[in-house]
Amino acid sequence: MQKQPLALVPPAQAATEKVVSGATSPIYVTQPALPPLEEFMPYLEAIWANKILTNGGPFHQQLEKALCEYLGVQHLALFSNGTLGLVTALQALRITGEVITTPYSFVATAHSLLWNGIKPVFADVHPDTLNLDPARIEAAITPHTTAIMPVHCYGHPCDVQAIQKIADNYNLKVIYDAAHAFGVQDAGGSVLRHGDLSVLSFHATKVFNTFEGGAIICPDAKTKQRIDHLKNFGFVDETTVVAPGINGKMSEINAAFGMLQLQYVGDALAKRQAIDTAYRAALHNVPGIRCVQDAGQQVSNYSYFPIMVEPDYPLSRDALYQKLKDNHIFARRYFYPLITDFPMYRGMPSASRENLPEATAAAQKVLCLPIYPALTLEQQDQIVAVIREAAV
Ligand SMILES: Cc1ncc(COP(=O)(O)O)c(C=O)c1O
């Protein structure tokens, strides 16, 4: 059969063509870090040669091992994305009833509960870290509570000690949505070691991406085995199915890409750190702009650069967001709207604004500025100039 030439316009190019009106090219909140294409070819050739495309093939096994070493964790199960990781983590620990979680996150956090028939109970965040406030967790516990699902928002670690203490007192499980926390360390090592399970995302927008992907970090081999069964339809062997599992497996292409990405992630993190430092230096004396501080972690991943647009800044957050947009700079209001503003959650008693004053205030003030390894100093200057312009 005659091979048809590829006629598709790549989506990114199509989007760019629509957005660019003048000479300035758009600056998005993030841009995926990609290794040189030619370096990926040998990986593809290996896959074409062995014809193993999925089902825990050699690259899948290599990447699990390499990530355990890189992250400093004991056991890790790869997934096709972080959301299926969250859904499966809840299944693995047989979580039911109610789970206490944060409204200040990407919607997948709470959606993973609904997909398991679990009722999310929202508790407020701490105004400094924007992470679930341990002081608000206890009041949300009922006889139906079985677990807590906090998020290390922006890669800033939660108050893990306080959360664990509550979990121990009430015999609750803790599953961390660690989608933002790749490579983050506290004084004792990886933040991913905390709780019963932690779930990473390797989505295109994340610090370490495999196009799509994710992983569950677990403390012991037995739990990993259960998770591995669950992500493969519940199969234990050719003829035995032990649970109503799902297809959450990462393909060999994604895993091979992850192996290559790992070689570049150190460089990507160093570039992110330099951008973070430059933003802080340039914005520290702009009245009404507050850079969100980290949570005292030992090693950061600089995955986001959130600022708070306070009342003494001449523009509202949304006006600044629009002004940046007018200058082809696409900052994002992560996290606005709150999860609790979406129709499937807003009727829940714990979703009321009175229950969530800090999260509600943060959602009105926060703006995440562009940060990614390829962001140039000139582009950063452009972004800072737009923010400064309104303040003079
Ligand atoms: C906090 C949080 N949780 C979960 C997810 C879902 O991960 P994925 O896109 O890999 O399914 C994301 C991001 O995409 C996220 O930011």
- Atom of ligand 1 at shortest range from CA of 85: 11
Q: Say yes or no: CB of residue 177 within 6 Å of ligand 1.
A: yes
Is the model's pTM score more than 0.85? yes
Q: Say yes or no: CB of residue 206 within 6 Å of ligand 1.
A: no
Whole-angstrom Cα distance, residue 246 to residue 84?
Answer: 8
pLDDT band at 6 (very low <50, low <70, confident <90, very high): low
Tell me the mean pLDDT in the region 334-344. 98
Q: Which among 33, 59, 34 has a CA at the least distance from the CA of 45?
A: 59
The single-letter DSSP state of residue 102 is -
Whole-angstrom Cα distance, residue 370 to residue 140?
Answer: 35
**Residues sharing a CB contact under 8 Å with residue 44, sequence separation 6 or more, in sequence order:** 253, 256
Q: Are residues 73 and 194 in contact, defined by beta-carbon separation less than 8 angstroms?
A: no
pLDDT band at 12 (very low <50, low <70, confident <90, very high): very low
Tell me the mean pLDDT in the region 28-38. 97
Tell me the mean pLDDT in the region 52-58. 98
Beta strands in 92-167 (DSSP E): 98-101, 119-122, 145-149
Strand partners, 101: 122, 149
How many angstroms separate the alpha carbon of residue 203 from the centre of ligand 1? 7
Q: Say yes or no: CB of residue 203 within 6 Å of ligand 1.
A: yes
Q: What is the pLDDT of residue 369?
A: 98
Q: Are residues 183 and 207 in contact, defined by beta-carbon separation less than 8 angstroms?
A: yes
Q: Say yes or no: CB of residue 214 within 6 Å of ligand 1.
A: yes
Tokens of 314: 């001449």
How many angstroms separate the alpha carbon of residue 178 from the centre of ligand 1? 9
**Residues sharing a CB contact under 8 Å with residue 32, sequence separation 6 or more, in sequence order:** 204, 205, 209, 372
How many angstroms separate the alpha carbon of residue 88 from the centre of ligand 1? 14
Q: Is 295 or 254 the better-scoring residue by pLDDT? A: 254
Beta strands in 227-284 (DSSP E): 235-237, 240-241
Residue 78 has pLDDT above 60, yes or no: yes
pLDDT band at 9 (very low <50, low <70, confident <90, very high): very low
Tokens of 249: 């497996």
Whole-angstrom Cα distance, residue 132 to residue 167?
Answer: 14
Tell me the mean pLDDT in the region 221-228. 98
Q: Of 18, 51, 119, 206, which residue is the catalytic one?
A: 206
Q: What is the pLDDT of residue 3?
A: 54
Q: What is the pLDDT of residue 330?
A: 98
Q: What is the pLDDT of residue 367?
A: 98
User: What is the amino acid identity at position 368?
Assistant: C
pLDDT averaged over every residue in the chain: 94
Residues composing the chain: 392
Q: What is the pLDDT of residue 316?
A: 98
Residue 19 has pLDDT above 70, yes or no: no
How many angstroms separate the alpha carbon of residue 106 from the centre of ligand 1? 6
Residues 95-131 pLDDT 10s: 999 999 999 999 999 999 999 999 999 999 999 999 9
- Atom of ligand 1 at shortest range from CA of 214: 10
How many angstroms separate the alpha carbon of residue 30 from the centre of ligand 1? 15
What the chain holds in terms of domains, given with CATH numbers, is 11-33+265-391 (3.90.1150.10), 37-259 (3.40.640.10)
User: What is the amino acid identity at position 121?
Assistant: V
Q: What is the pLDDT of residue 7?
A: 53
Is 206 a known active-site residue?
yes
Q: Which residue CA neighbors atom 14 of ligand 1 most closely?
A: 203
- Atom of ligand 1 at shortest range from CA of 205: 14
* Contacts of range 133-142, beta carbons closer than 8 Å, 24 or more positions apart: 133/358, 134/159, 134/162, 134/163, 134/165, 134/166, 137/100, 137/163, 137/166, 138/166, 140/100, 140/350, 141/100, 141/166, 141/170, 141/172, 142/98
Q: Is 360 exposed, middle or buried (0-12, 13-18, 19+ CB in 10 A)?
A: buried
Q: What share of the chain is helix, strand, coil (3-state, %, to 5)?
A: 40, 15, 40
Q: Are residues 175 and 93 in contact, defined by beta-carbon separation less than 8 angstroms?
A: yes
**Residues sharing a CB contact under 8 Å with residue 301, sequence separation 6 or more, in sequence order:** 155, 180, 181, 182, 183, 184, 207, 269, 272
Q: Say yes or no: CB of residue 254 within 6 Å of ligand 1.
A: no
Q: Say yes or no: CB of residue 88 within 6 Å of ligand 1.
A: no
Q: Say yes or no: CB of residue 175 within 6 Å of ligand 1.
A: no
Q: What is residue 184's three-state secondary structure? A: coil
**Residues sharing a CB contact under 8 Å with residue 204, sequence separation 6 or more, in sequence order:** 32, 211, 212
Asked if omega into 337 is within 30° of 0 (cis), the reply is yes
Residue 4 has pLDDT above 60, yes or no: no
- Per cent of the chain over pLDDT 90 is 92
Whole-angstrom Cα distance, residue 379 to residue 249?
Answer: 38
Q: What is the pLDDT of residue 294?
A: 86
